[in-house]
């Protein structure tokens, strides 16, 4: 009996001792944590008076990293230039009672109001305000009580040294100013500033000349590709099949800029889906005067000025080969739709029209009779600098007309 009771007596103290030992270590650890927390709290408490001392104007000016002004900034979805604009403008919800004239002279500065030189002769041109170093905010024309005014909208454009020669200063009077909108009246449009032009000439000429050299090189390869396709109808298919980077990259450079200009026109003019179908299906557009009270088939506005006839053969987008001819279609449009629509058509079908001009050039060279080898004909076409420059100039003029519209 005594032997039977010994094991429980020996085993019972062992488990409590282990538990007590664990509790002891845990208690010590908790004690250290409690002391550490208390120490951190004491240190934080001692630093509180120092934080209050920092709130003096002198210390705030010497600490640009302070975030004390963050609650006063506009919502986070605003861009950085807009934040600067809000802090610069008058902070009031009331309309300014007394109109203020803003006259700017000399080179461009942040806050200046400017107008594109290409828009000077338009009856209701948009204007812009310089927001920071790299952004322009657009002001749309509005009519109020018989006055032509301009109000800011949420539309922006890039601003850099290369863009400055395209704009001129204007004098405006602030008609009203609130947190939600700024309305101004244009008083005078200045002549382009010669000093402004001269200060940007060096930078602009350097970058523009480099850009022009790249464009000339790319366009020569573009013509080389289409001329080669005239001489070998399988050339484009082989380029795509072999994924030839030399030809494809230069094709995409020119076609990509055409697409960008075309998308810009499409975003500016809200044409009907049927008009888009017709202009993309037919490569040729002829315009004749046609006055009618019927609504425009492009934008549904009242009053028709012209009738557009769309014609020409459909063609393959890959090989540019003409398919069976189809019947022509007509659309009655207003003048506001017909002019940009012609540019849109030229951009969309540019590769096809250029391919046809390359055909004519090859035929002209072949008339000499002595040239039979394809590579010699190709070289002779590309050596005609007058022809190459004329083709490139036509394309550049097309791009410029799209940007000015």
Q: Where is pLDDT greater, at 310 or 82?
A: 310
* Predicted local distance difference test score (pLDDT) of residue 274: 92
Residues 197-201 have a mean pLDDT of 49
Task: Label residue 205 by pLDDT band (50, 70, 90).
Answer: low
Does residue 311 sit in helix, strand or coil? strand
What's the pLDDT tens digit per position in 234-266?
A: 999 999 998 888 899 889 889 989 998 988 888
Residue count (the chain): 405
Across-strand partners of 203?
Answer: none
- 295-309 burial string, b = 16+ CB within 10 Å, else e? ebbbeeeeebbbbbe
pLDDT at 404: 74
**What is the rounded average pLDDT of the residues 180-194?**
84
Find out whether 218 and 254 touch, Cβ atoms under 8 Å: yes
**CA dihedral over 121, 125, 131, 137, signed as positive or negative:** negative
pLDDT band at 194 (very low <50, low <70, confident <90, very high): low
Look up residue 100 and give its two tokens.
Answer: 């203020």
Q: How does pLDDT run across 124-147, given as a tens digit for each residue? A: 899 999 987 777 888 999 998 888
Q: Residue 195: which residues within 8 A CB-CB, separation 6 or more?
A: 106, 107
Q: Rounded to a whole number, what is the largest CA-CA distance in the chain?
A: 132
Listed in sequence order, the DSSP H helices in 285-383 are 335-348, 350-366, 374-382
Distance CA 152, CA 181 (A): 6
**What CA–CA distance (Å, rounded) separates 348 from 361?**
22
Task: Read off the pLDDT band of 215 (50, 70, 90).
Answer: confident
Q: Give the residue with greater pLDDT, 373 vs 45.
A: 373
Segment 83-105 mean pLDDT: 39
Q: Average model confidence (pLDDT) for the chain?
A: 74
Per-position DSSP letters for 28-45, written without gaps between them: HHHHHHHHHHHHHHHHHH
Q: What are phi and psi of 143, to 5 degrees?
A: -110, 130
For helices 385-404 and 245-268, angle between their N-to-C axes, nearest 10 degrees: 30
**Residue 48: per-residue pLDDT:** 43
User: What is each CA distance from 304 to 37, 290, 333, 345, in whole angstroms?
Assistant: 81, 7, 5, 20
User: What CA–CA distance (Å, rounded) separates 199 from 128?
Assistant: 21
Which DSSP string do the residues of 327-354 spell out, in sequence order? --EEEEE-HHHHHHHHHHHHHHTHHHHH
Closest by CA position to 389, among listed 220, 224, 210, 218: 220
Asked if residue 89 lies in contact with residue 177, where contact means CB atoms within 8 angstroms, the answer is: yes
> pLDDT (tens digit, 9 = 90+) per residue, 51-80?
444 444 444 333 344 334 444 444 444 444
The span from the CA of 266 to the CA of 262, in Å, is: 6
DSSP collapsed to 3 states, 73-96 = CCCCCCCHHHHHHHHHCCCCCCCC
CA atoms of 244 and 264, how far apart (whole Å): 29
Number of helical H runs and strand E runs in the chain = 12, 10
Phi/psi for 186 (5° steps) reads: -80, 125
Higher-pLDDT residue of 125, 87: 125
- The share of the chain scoring above pLDDT 70, in percent, equals 66
The SS3 of residue 403 is helix
pLDDT band (50, 70, 90) for residue 209:
low
| Res 138: pLDDT | 87
Residue 228: the pLDDT is 94
List beta partners, residue 173.
101, 185
Give the up-direction half-sphere exposure of residue 157: CA atoms within 13 A in the CB hemisphere: 21
- Per-residue pLDDT at 227 exceeds 90: yes
């Amino acid at each position: 009996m005594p032997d039977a009771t010994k094991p429980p007596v020996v085993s019972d103290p062992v488990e409590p001792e282990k538990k007590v030992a664990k509790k002891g270590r845990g208690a010590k650890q908790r004690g250290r944590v409690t002391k550490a927390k208390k120490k951190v709290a004491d240190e934080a408490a001692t630093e509180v008076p120092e934080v209050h001392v920092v709130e003096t104007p002198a210390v705030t000016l010497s600490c640009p990293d302070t975030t004390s002004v963050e609650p006063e900034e506009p919502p986070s979805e605003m861009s950085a230039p807009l934040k600067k604009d809000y802090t610069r403008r008058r902070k009031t919800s009331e309309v300014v009672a007394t109109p203020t004239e803003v006259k700017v002279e000399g080179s461009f500065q942040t806050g200046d109001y400017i107008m594109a030189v290409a828009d000077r002769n338009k009856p209701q041109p948009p204007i812009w305000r310089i927001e920071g170093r790299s952004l322009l905010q657009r002001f749309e024309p509005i009519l109020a009580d018989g006055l032509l005014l301009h109000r800011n909208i949420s539309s922006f454009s890039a601003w850099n040294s290369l863009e400055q020669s395209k704009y001129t200063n204007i004098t405006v009077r602030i008609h009203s100013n609130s947190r939600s909108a700024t309305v101004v009246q244009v008083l005078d449009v200045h002549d382009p500033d010669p000093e402004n032009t001269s200060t940007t000439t060096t930078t602009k000429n350097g970058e523009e000349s480099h850009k022009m050299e790249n464009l000339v090189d790319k366009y020569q390869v573009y013509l080389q590709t289409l001329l080669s396709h005239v001489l070998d109808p399988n050339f484009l298919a082989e380029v795509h099949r072999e994924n030839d980077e030399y030809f494809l990259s230069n094709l995409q450079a020119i076609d990509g800029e055409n697409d960008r200009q075309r998308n810009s026109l499409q975003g500016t003019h809200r044409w009907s889906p049927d008009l888009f179908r017709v202009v993309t299906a037919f490569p040729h557009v002829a315009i004749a005067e046609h006055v009618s009270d019927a609504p425009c088939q492009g934008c549904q506005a009242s009053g028709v000025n012209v009738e557009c006839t769309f014609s020409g053969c459909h063609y393959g987008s890959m090989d540019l080969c003409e398919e069976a001819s189809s019947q022509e279609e007509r659309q009655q449009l207003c003048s506001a739709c017909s002019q940009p629509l012609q540019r849109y058509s030229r951009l969309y079908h540019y590769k096809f029209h250029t391919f046809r001009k390359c055909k004519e050039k090859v035929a002209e060279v072949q008339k000499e009779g002595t040239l039979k080898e394809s590579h010699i004909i190709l070289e002779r076409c590309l050596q005609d600098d007058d022809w190459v420059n004329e083709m490139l100039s036509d394309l550049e003029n097309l791009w410029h007309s799209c940007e000015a519209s």
